[in-house]
Amino acid sequence: MCGIAGEVRHDGRLPDVAAVGRMVGSPSMATRGPDGAGVWSAGPVALGHRRLAIIDLSGRGHQPMVDAELGLAVVFNGCIYNHRELRRELEAAGHRFVSTSDTEVLLKGWREWGEGLVDRLAGMFAFALAERDTGRLVLARDRLGIKPLYLADVDGALRFGSTVPAVVAGGEVDTTIDPEALHHYLTFHAVVPAPRTLLSGVTKLPPATILVVEPDGRRREREYWNPWLAGPPASAPSGEDPVSWREAVEAALRTAVRRRLVADVPVGVLLSGGLDSSLIVALLAEEGQDALATFSIGFDSAGGEAGDEFQWSDQVAQRYATDHHQLRIPTDRVLDAL
């Protein structure tokens, strides 16, 4: 999962490293990254990171990751599924790597392609990249906004983080409720459209967006992808034949599942017993995943309603011989959490 945080100043002062440290150390960030933490600062920028090690489990994958030769530093949350292919392309262009992490691909890729890097990334990501020579900070999110990135303007600086509580932990944030965001939250099943959040002093970077922050505080925001403007992919059938569409959807699902096998740790599935997760387990099994770990969560029955779907998830687990785990959450734990 990982978590990122940071600050970029535009008033000539040094960044508040202590505030970034509070963000990195906040409980909502600590649970995102149990495998390491770090803070780095240079010029007007401070970056912080909590690590959940997925690719390159060694210390070479530690973040914030700094490339002194290129004059770049980055913190990154997510996974770049095609990082190996991009690495080969960058090595052919003369770049040298010291790790096998997808994080380092972002550093070399930014130097090689600039903002065109995001067009080449297949994955889910939120990253902050600092340029030493220009003092510029770049923030970016993946196409669908799978990975979060929250922003807050404080006196003379812009702060950012992977969670709202982390941003608040940095201090100086207006925590009054945004009534329009609350309306969205109650209307759209707990969804608040970007750029708003429930807090007046915190916004979120929209999906498929790059935000470039100059040293003087000027900002340039660009949407680099839009599903309505991009048009159908080349693999989409041109007609309405249902067989062709079924085959195209199956091929896309297989590609998506195959990409998510890119990890240096075991891959597991949250198996609800529904159609989506059952399909994913089936496709993983066909990809040759033996002893695949699956997890199903259930609750106590209440008011005549079943609290779990174990009867369905058990059937899928048995069919594909997964290493299955049933997790039942008692009512008192649910009420305490709420």
**If the chain, 338 residues long, is cut into consecutive pieces of 10 residues, what is the mean pLDDT of each piece?**
95 96 96 95 97 93 96 97 97 97 97 97 97 96 97 96 97 97 91 95 98 95 93 84 92 92 90 94 89 93 90 95 94 88
The amino acid that residue 104 corresponds to is E
Q: What is the pLDDT of residue 190?
A: 85
What is the model's pLDDT at position 143?
A: 96
Residue 5, CA distances (Å) to 56, 79, 112, 220, 286 in order: 21, 17, 25, 20, 39
Name which of 286, 296, 288 is nearest 317 in CA terms: 296
Joined tokens for residue 66 = 């700094």
Return the CA Rg of the chain: 22
* Distance from C-alpha of 38 to C-alpha of 52, rounded to nearest angstrom: 12
Q: For tokens 């049933």, name the residue.
A: 326
Please state the pTM of the whole predicted model: 0.92
Q: Which residues are catalytic?
A: 2
What does the pLDDT read at residue 180? 96
CA trace torsion 112, 115, 118, 119 (10° rounding): -90
Contact at 8 Å (CB) between 254 and 278?
no
Cis link prior to 195 (omega < 30° from 0)? yes
Cα distances (angstroms) measured from residue 48 to each of 74, 127, 129, 166, 215? 9, 11, 11, 11, 19
